[in-house]
Structure 1
Amino acid sequence: MKEAANLLLDENGDLKPFERFSNDVQKINDAYNKHYLKTEYNFALQSAEMAARWEEQQDDGDGRYLLQYRTAGDKKVRPAHQELNGITLPPSDPFWDKYYPPNGFNCRCTVQKVRAAKYPATDSNEAMKAGDKATEGKYAEMFRFNPGKQRAAYPAYNSYTIKKCATCKKNGLELAKIPSNELCAACPIIRECAGDISKSQAAIERKHYLREMQPLLKKKVVLEIGGVKKSIGFTKEGNKHLYSDTFGRSSVLKPDDLAHLDNVLKQSVYVSTSDRLSHARKDKVKRFFYLKGDINGKTVYLNVAEAEFENRDGKKKYDRFLYSVTDKIKSE
C-alpha cells in the first residue's frame, strides 16, 4: 500500500491520471501478490514441518543423541547458512532457541538427530556467534526463533511488525500506549478479537463433549463400597465438572474418554471415604468415595460424590454420581 501510494504522483509531483497510476501499480502486483506470496507460503510450510521435527527430536535418550544443523548441501546454499552446517548440540542448548531452521525466506536447512558417540558437541558459545553472524541484518534477525518451541509459523517480530514487537509484554500491552504507532494501537483490538474467537471455539468444544456424555445420564453402576453395594450414576452438573477435570486435575483423562466413563467406573475398586469438605456446598454433597480405576493402562482415581437429602416422608435418601477424576488422592 505504501509503495502504491508513492506511485500516485509523477516525476513533477503532479497527480497521475488513473490509467497511468493503474498501469504502474500492476508492475508491482506480481512482486507482492505472486512472488512474495509464494515465498511466504513456502516459509510457513517449512516452519510447520520443522516444528513437527522439533517435537520428534525431544527424546535425547539420556544424552545419547544430539541435534546437528545441516544445509541442503548444494550450490544454492547461501554462504551465511553454510557456516552453520555441522553445528552439533543437545536439544536443550540455547542455540536452538534462536537458530533452529528455517533461518530465512526459502531456507532449506534442516536438523538431524545424531549419536553423541559419533559426533562431538560443538562449543555452544562459538555456535551462538556463528548463528548471530548468519542472521545479522534488518531482514534476517527476525528469523531468530524456534517454530517448534514457540509453536508459531512466524516469529513475533516479522516483516509486518515493528522491532519492538519482539520484546512486547503481550499481557500488559504496554506498546499499545504509544499513540504514534498505528500497529501498537491496533494490537489490543486484534488480540481482543482473537480472544473472543478462542472463547467461542472453547464453548463449541465444551458443548460437543457434554452432548457426547448425555447417554451417561441414563446409566447406573452398582459397586461394593465399604462392604455395601451402592448405586452410582451421572448427573448434568457432575458431567460438567468431569469435563473441566479433563483440563484440570487429571493428566490421564482426555476429552475422548469422557463418553465411556461408565465402563471405567464398572472396573474400579473402592479405596476410601472422605467426609471432609473443603467448602460449604449447595448441592447437598456430604462425602466422597474414592475409587481406583484404569484409563488406557494408566491408574486414575474416581471421586464419587454422595448427596444426602430427605424425601417427603422425612426419610433420608442418597444420590451418588461420578464427580471428578484425579491422578492421585491424599489419603493414599
Structure 2
Amino acid sequence: MDGLFISKPSDQLSEAKLQAGDIILFEGEAGDTLNWLIMHLSNSKYTHSALVYEDGILADAALSGLNIHHFSQKESGRPACVMRLNGITDSEPLITNAATLVNKKLPYDKPGLILAGLLLLQKKFPLHRKAQKWASLLLQHAAKEISAAFAKGKHPVTCSQFVSSVYTMTGGDYALYFKNADILSSSDKDGLIHKCQKLLGTKIPTNLAYGIEVSSSLDEILSQLKDALNDTESVEEPVLPETVNAVKRFSCSLTRTLNSEDAIHKLAKGEELFITPGDLRQHCINLQFICDVHIVRDNAIA
C-alpha cells in the first residue's frame, strides 16, 4: 500500500495489518490548550480521530474541512492508536459512506472547537464565576464559527462525529455500541446543558455583565478557561444568566433552531454529537485495539 509506513516504536507493523475502515485515534498535542481542554473534560488522552480510507490514505475532519490525506509513520510523528470493528471483513460499505461525506466538503474551521463546546455542555466542571465567564465566551466564539460555516452553505462537523457517522450510516453489523461512555450515558444529568434546561421559561437578562470583552481572542479564552478549571478554591455559584445566554446561542447555532428552548432540548438529546475520541477508545464495546503507532499526516489530496 503506497505511502503507508507504520510501526510500533520497537516493532515494525506490517502494512497488511492496517485495513480500510480502521479508526486512528490521535493523542493530544503537548502545549495545545484546546487539546488540553478536550483531554481534561473527556478524561482521555485522545483528542482527534480519523478513518483509514484506502492505500495509505486517511479521511478526517481537519483545518481544511473533511478531506483525505496520505499518511506515514515517523518517530517524530504524533502518537496514536488503531482501533478496528470486530467481525467485519468487508470494508467497502464503510468507505462508500465515508466518500459520500468527504465529497460534501464539510468544514471544520477550528480543530476541536465544537467538540470542546459540546463537552462544556455535558461534563460537570466547577461553576465558579471565573469558569462560567470563560466557558461562556468559548461557547459564544464557537457559535460564531458555526454560524459562519452555515452561512457558506456548509455543515460543521467534529472529527469523532464524522467517524461515528460513517458507521451509523452503514448500519447493521457496522453499528458502534457504547457502554458507560461519560457523555452518552450522563446519568446524573449534572452538566451545564441540563442545568440550563431547568431554567428555561424564566426571564434571562440579555446583557452581559462579566466585564470581559467578547472580542477576546480564542487563545486568550482557552488560556483563561484552563486556569479557571484548575482553580479548586473559588466558590461555585448557580448558573449565571450570562452563561444561560451563551448556552442558548451555541445550541441555536449548532442545531439551526431559532427557538432557544427547542434548541437546548434538541441538543441535550443528540447522542451522536457527543461521541468523543476517548469514547471510541474506552467505551465502544465492539471496537478492538490493534496497536499503537506514530502518524504524520501529509497535505490533503486534491
Give the TM bin, normalised by the shorter chain: under 0.3
TM-score by length of 2: 0.22
TM-score by length of 1: 0.21
Structure possessing the higher relative contact order (Cα contacts under 8 Å, 6 or more residues apart): 2
Q: Which has the larger radius of gyration?
A: 1
